[in-house]
């Protein structure tokens, strides 16, 4: 799948541990119908699937994304992304070295998490990276080891430094999305704003 920055606009991230009611495939299909532009499968933390169950869930989500022609990205798990021939992978600074990941995923979407100026500048030196996930912007419940929030002003500063498209990550909600859209980013990524939405379709539209 050819990457373009518009695919970052409404970037949905979720795993089974994020689902409070219903199932991940049901929530994902609702979100796809409503207009999300990218999906990242992130199975991490308390209550997450392991082994074969995780692989089967990933395949189910991948089929849905293909049906709606939306990129299917896997978080961190290089082996799973290769086995499923996912559209791409997203890694953090403490995961497998980005140079190794880029070598394993030629012609795929590769996202890298960045937190500060040094990480952005280092990433700028690697032209094969597709996009940066910058954050956390606000406090987040989805990551136990999350760093201190950088806030929208720092986000704007780092986005200006970035030579690649930027998706904002961390604590993003319907209440703060308009502030972030003014910082020059290409998109916003959300978990609970959709998995816990009373009206998922309306939430997706509000995030656009």
Length of the chain: 208
SS3 content of the chain, % helix, strand, coil (to 5): 40, 15, 45
Residues 6+ apart with CB under 8 A from 113: 90, 91, 92, 93, 132, 133, 134, 135, 169
Active site residues: 42, 113, 143
Helix (H) or strand (E) run with residue 160 in it: helix 151-161
Tell whether the torsion through CA atoms of 131, 136, 138 and 142 is positive or negative: positive
> Which residues lie closer than 8 Å to 172 by C-beta, 6 or more apart?
137, 138, 180, 188, 189, 190, 193
Residue with tokens 């409503």: 34
Tokens of 37: 């532009």
């Amino acid at each position: 799948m050819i990457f373009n920055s518009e695919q970052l606009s409404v970037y949905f991230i979720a795993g089974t541990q994020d689902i409070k009611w219903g199932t991940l495939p049901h929530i994902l299909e609702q979100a796809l119908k409503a207009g999300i532009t990218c999906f990242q499968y992130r199975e991490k933390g308390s209550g997450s699937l392991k082994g074969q169950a995780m692989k089967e869930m990933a395949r189910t989500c991948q089929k849905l994304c293909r049906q709606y022609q939306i990129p299917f990205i896997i978080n961190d798990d290089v082996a799973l992304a290769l086995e499923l021939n996912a559209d791409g992978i997203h890694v953090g600074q403490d995961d497998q070295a980005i140079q190794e990941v880029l070598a394993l995923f030629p012609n795929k979407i590769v996202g890298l998490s960045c937190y500060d100026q040094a990480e952005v500048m280092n990433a700028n030196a690697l032209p094969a990276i597709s996009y940066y996930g910058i954050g956390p912007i606000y406090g987040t419940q989805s990551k136990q080891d999350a760093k201190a929030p950088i806030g929208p002003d720092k986000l704007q500063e780092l986005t200006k430094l970035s030579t690649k498209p930027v998706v904002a990550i961390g604590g993003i909600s319907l209440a703060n999305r308009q502030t972030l859209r003014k910082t020059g980013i290409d998109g916003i990524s959300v978990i609970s704003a959709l998995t816990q939405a009373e009206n998922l379709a309306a939430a997706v539209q509000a995030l656009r």
